[in-house]
Amino acid sequence: MTPSPVHALADAEPTPFWLADPDRPAAEPALVGDETCDLLVVGGGYSGLWTALIAKERDPQRDVVLIEGAEVGWAASGRNGGFCAASLTHGLGNGLARWPGELATLEALGVKNLDAIEHAVARYHIDCAFERTGEIDIATEPHQVAELQEAAEEAAGLGLTRHRFLDQDELRAEIDSPTFRAGLWDRDGVAMLNPARLAWGLKQACLGYGVRIYERTRATALSSDGLGMAVRTPYGRIFARHVALGTNAFPSLVKRVRPYIVPVYDHALMTEPLNEEQLAAIGWKNRQGLSDSNNHFHYFRITADNRILWGGYDIVYRYGGGVRAEYDHHPATYEKLARHFFRCFPQLEGLRFTHTWGGAIDTCARFSAFFGTAHAGRVAYAAGYTGLGVGATRFGAEVMLDLLAGERTERTELEMVRSKPLPFPPEPLRWAGIGITQWSMTRADTHGGRRNLWLKAMDKLGLGFDS
């Protein structure tokens, strides 16, 4: 009797694969007492780490402190899929819909940003399995083939030569699945990497510059203090001239920012390493990242030791929008993902999953980051990366530092930086709206991509919901 896909989950550990690394560094001590500094960075994920590091690169004499409520890289930065994209706009389509006049500039800045990440990985000797192999968006339904062809034409119209349309035979020569119909390969605009090791490497680079890092030190309050700012922590306070907030899915210390963010939960599976026969059965010799083109989409990639990470599809929102450890796991989603995995790769029957996990994403209504300042320009924030923060957080760090310096730069002059998304409504309207949107997205996936009146209305309002 053939075992069901769910049996492949029997021995999986409910922990993020990347964070189970035996070389995970020890946490720095918590802050006890008071500190003063030029720049305080709140948050020890990519957003905060890049901000602290670039601040020291710009001015090595700047006194920088970073605090993290748990451990560096433990949240989204250590449990994502490891796709590091050049796109700052959550893909060409979203960028074209929202900022058509500056999309060419945004694309150029995105490529420059990804280049800078690659250079930083080399400069600071960060062992994070960085592979700039690109990503293929995959059509699994007939209507998606035409959508990918249109996207390829749009990319060509913007002068983007790195995108290549693949017909079914060309795609299945790259990666073989009976469900694949066509693909759009962004050949070097996306890198694969080990996300936790990137975070830990950035932490080490910050320490090397003299950044003082306090872990297990949660910021509990933010207030003005003379010409600077004061941040309270459980065992002390920090007085700083400027504060950069990299708290993303967690409630912002600037309360007016909170309605713009909805924390949603995404989940993933990791397989055991594939043997040579299994690798030959699916191809994938060029090791690209992959994602399908559904509204409820899957993303998947191959790791340095030839495991397959398979995630996405469900976008889980809890009433009230809390971020809690008990939300990290969702067995119903794991079961669904396992079934979908073997539907995509029936030739891998018998493969086992070793890890299951989930985590919160800071989604906003326009799917890409927004920026701003508070307290007379002494506090800056960037949030709303909506699942594409592995790369875009570095750009966000530069924007925050520009804003704190009061500088007019190419970045701060962007409409994307100067504008905000629409806020989400309060509960219970938020819960109801997200539920209707989820149902409508599923319906569109099963009805040839046709968007119903609800989704069309959301499009006109500029409201969206994604991960």
Q: What is the pLDDT of residue 160?
A: 85
In the predicted structure, residue 159 carries a pLDDT above the cut 90 = no
- Average pLDDT of the chain? 95
C-alpha 72: how far from chain center: 16
**pLDDT > 80? residue 467:** no
Q: Are 365 and 463 in contact (CB under 8 A)?
A: yes
Residues 184 and 57 in one domain: no
Residues 382 and 354 in one domain: no
pLDDT class for 414, splitting at 50, 70, 90? very high
* Cα 133 from chain centroid (whole Å): 18
Task: Give the CATH number, domain containing residue 267.
Answer: 3.30.9.10
Asked whether 220 and 233 are in contact (CB, 8 A), the reply is yes
For residues 417-430, give the mean pLDDT.
94
CA-based nearest residue to 82, from 316, 262, 268: 268
Q: 286-343 pLDDT, tens per residue?
A: 999 999 999 899 999 999 999 999 999 998 999 998 899 999 999 999 999 999 999 9
pLDDT tens-digit map of 55-98? 999 999 999 999 999 999 999 999 999 999 999 999 998 999 99
Q: For the stretch 305-319, what's the b/e string if a residue is b when 16 or more beta carbons lie within 10 angstroms of its beta carbon?
A: ebbbbbbbbbbbbee
pLDDT of residue 2: 59
Residues 374 and 343 in one domain: no
Pick the range with the lowest mean pLDDT from 50-59, 257-266, 432-441: 432-441
Query: What is the number of residues in the chain?
Result: 467
Q: pLDDT of 225-249, one tens digit each?
A: 988 999 999 999 999 999 999 999 9
The answer to whether the beta carbons of residues 42 and 334 sit under 8 Å apart is no
Judge whether residue 218 has pLDDT over 90: yes
Q: What is the largest CA-CA distance in the chain?
A: 73
Residue 222's domain is classified under what CATH number? 3.50.50.60
Tell me, yes or no, whether 128 lies in a domain.
no
**pLDDT class of 33 with cuts at 50, 70, 90:** very high
Residue 466 has pLDDT above 80, yes or no: no
pLDDT at 54 over 60: yes
Which H, E and C letters describe the chain, residue by residue?
Answer: CCCCHHHHHCCCECCCCHHHCCCCCCCCCCCCEEEEEEEEEECCCHHHHHHHHHHHHHCCCCCEEEECCCCCCCCHHHHCCCEEECCCCCCHHHHHHHCHHHHHHHHHHHHHHHHHHHHHHHHCCCCCCCECCCEEEEECCHHHHHHHHHHHHHHHHCCCCCEEEECHHHHHHHECCCCCCEEEEECCCEEECCHHHHHHHHHHHHHHCCCEEECCCCCCEEEEECCEEEEEECCEEEEEEEEEECCCCCCCCCHHHHHHCEEEEEEEEEECCCCHHHHHHHECCCCCEEEECCCCCEEEEECCCCCEEEEECCCECCCCCCCCHHHCCCHHHHHHHHHHHHHHCHHHCCCCEEEEEEEEEEECCCCCCEEEEECCCCEEEEECCCCCHHHHHHHHHHHHHHHHHCCCCCCCCCHHHHCCCCCCCCCCHHHHHHHHHHHHHHHHHHCCCCCCHHHHHHHHHCCCCCC
User: How many domains, in total, are found in the chain?
Assistant: 3
Residue 46: name the closest of 204, 195, 214, 257 by CA.
Answer: 195
**Residue 449, domain extent:** 428-461
Residue 390 has pLDDT above 60, yes or no: yes
In angstroms, rounded to a whole number, what is the distance separating the alpha carbons of residues 148 and 176?
Answer: 18
Same domain membership, residue 182 and residue 232: no
Residue 221 domain flag: yes
Could you tell me if 228 and 350 lie in one domain?
A: no
Residues 6+ apart with CB under 8 A from 209: 53, 56, 57, 60, 64
Helices 103-123 and 195-208, packing angle to 10 deg = 70
In this structure, are residues 72 and 201 in contact, taking their beta carbons and an 8 Å threshold? no
Pair of tokens at residue 427? 């509960």
Picking from 344, 364, 384, the residue at the C-terminal end of a domain is 364
Q: Report the predicted TM-score, pTM, of the whole model to 2 decimal places.
A: 0.96
Predicted confidence (pLDDT) per residue in 344-354, tens digit: 999 999 999 99
Task: Answer yes or no: is 388 within a domain.
Answer: yes
For residues 221 and 245, state if they share a domain.
Answer: yes
Residues 252 and 320 in one domain: no
Q: Are residues 140 and 161 part of one domain?
A: yes
Decide if 66 is inside a domain: yes
What is the C-alpha separation between 31 and 39, in angstroms, rounded? 16
- Tell me which of 276 and 441 has the higher pLDDT: 276
- Whether 267 and 358 map to the same domain: the answer is yes
Residue 286 covered by a domain: yes
Let me know whether 285 and 381 are in one domain. Answer: no
By C-alpha distance, which of 328, 374, 357, 392 is closest to 84? 392
Nearest alpha-carbon partner for 442 in 297, 333, 344: 297
User: Would you say residue 149 lies in a domain?
Assistant: yes
Q: Check whether residue 360 and residue 374 sit in a common domain.
A: no
Residue 178 maps to a domain: yes
Position 119: which residue type? H
Please indicate, yes or no, if residue 41 is contained in any of the structural domains: yes
Closest CA to 230 of 69, 422, 378: 378
pLDDT at position 464 is 65
Range 425-433 average pLDDT: 91
CB 266 within 8 A of CB 330: no
Q: Please give the residue that has the higher pLDDT: either 321 or 50.
A: 50
Same domain (yes/no): 247, 319: no
Answer yes or no: is pLDDT of 1 > 70: no
Q: How big is the CA angle at 382 (ends 379 and 383), to the nearest 5 degrees?
A: 135
Higher pLDDT, 146 or 449: 146
Residue 169 has pLDDT above 80, yes or no: yes
462 pLDDT band (50/70/90 cuts)?
A: confident
